[in-house]
Amino acid sequence: MENEEDNSRATTYTTLFAGPDFRHELEIRRSRFITVLRRSPDEETARSLVADLRREFHDARHHCSAFVIGPDRMIQRSSDDGEPSGTAGIPMLEALIKREATPGVADLTDVSAVVVRYFGGILLGAGGLVRAYSESVSVALDLAPLVQRRRLRLCAIDVPHADAGRLENELRSTGYVMADTGYGARHATLRIALPDEAATISEAHARLASLTSGNLELRPQGTEWVDLPR
């Protein structure tokens, strides 16, 4: 069943590699800035990072946060958590939304960031805080493992059992990604995964018609977001 992600204008985006939270610490004028990044496909996951770190670093003065969610980056939130207004959350959010994993393309999303600050006794001033929080997130992103996700359109092909192996091999040899194959009583069903783009799907229809003399058709099914190999 399709959801909001299926209807997104975006067909690719960059996010954190699936795995443990990423951590990095900077010391700036005796204050400790501990940045933690988490892959967050929804607001609940993003907000849980703040709650987790409040428990872990319960004696810290500030737990500032920002997150961006959704292929189209429609959900964007930030919090200064007691720092002067505009000096922490917004600089952190800007570091996320301006991140270019590919030169000229700022498409980072499904990421939450929390910067835990231990005050070192030296006041940084508003400008100093903006730079410190922005730098903390930017440096963490420089070091964190990132991955590109692509929306793929799953398409099914009903094919006689006797022809299934041959057709699957021919599709693989022309570069198509095979999702899976099911065998029913009357026929086999091959599924291929295509970039969810009109031109690519049209080309696949034409390729299948050529391979089967027009006897078989693609049946578009749902879409699926997958992490591309790094």
Q: What is the pLDDT of residues 97-150, one digit of tens each?
A: 999 988 999 999 999 999 999 998 888 999 999 999 999 999 999 999 999 998
In this prediction, residue 2 carries a pLDDT of: 44
> Of 82, 115, 144, which residue constitutes the final position of a domain?
144
* In a shared domain, residues 116 and 181: no
pTM listed for this prediction: 0.82
In this prediction, residue 1 carries a pLDDT of: 37
* In a shared domain, residues 24 and 111: yes
In this prediction, residue 5 carries a pLDDT of: 56
* In a shared domain, residues 107 and 164: no
CATH number where 104 lies: 3.30.230.30
* In a shared domain, residues 140 and 53: yes
* In a shared domain, residues 95 and 33: yes
Q: What's the CA gap between 112 and 69, in Å, rounded?
A: 8
* In a shared domain, residues 134 and 160: no
CATH number where 222 lies: 3.30.70.240
* In a shared domain, residues 170 and 118: no
Does residue 6 fall inside a structural domain? Answer: no
In this prediction, residue 127 carries a pLDDT of: 95
* In a shared domain, residues 76 and 182: no
* In a shared domain, residues 27 and 112: yes
Does residue 119 fall inside a structural domain? Answer: yes
* In a shared domain, residues 155 and 104: no
In this prediction, residue 230 carries a pLDDT of: 65
By DSSP bridging, strand 146-159 and strand 75-79 are unpaired
Domain interval for residue 207: 151-227
In this prediction, residue 10 carries a pLDDT of: 85
Does residue 95 fall inside a structural domain? Answer: yes
Does residue 7 fall inside a structural domain? Answer: no
* Average model confidence (pLDDT) across the chain: 91
* In a shared domain, residues 173 and 117: no
> Of 128, 144, 160, which residue constitutes the final position of a domain?
144
Q: What's the CA gap between 111 and 36, in Å, rounded?
A: 10
* In a shared domain, residues 108 and 25: yes
Does residue 135 fall inside a structural domain? Answer: yes
> Of 125, 144, 163, which residue constitutes the final position of a domain?
144
Paired residues of 115 in beta bridges: 35, 64
Does residue 75 fall inside a structural domain? Answer: yes
Does residue 20 fall inside a structural domain? Answer: yes
Q: What's the CA gap between 152 and 225, in Å, rounded?
A: 6
Regions in the chain scoring below 70 on pLDDT: 1-7, 230
Q: What Cα–Cα distance (Å) separates residue 180 from each residue in 164, 189, 194?
A: 12, 8, 13
Does residue 4 fall inside a structural domain? Answer: no
Cα angle 108, 18, 114; round to 5:
60
- What's the domain count of the chain? 2
In this prediction, residue 228 carries a pLDDT of: 82
Q: What Cα–Cα distance (Å) separates residue 195 from each residue in 34, 56, 70, 174?
A: 38, 42, 18, 15
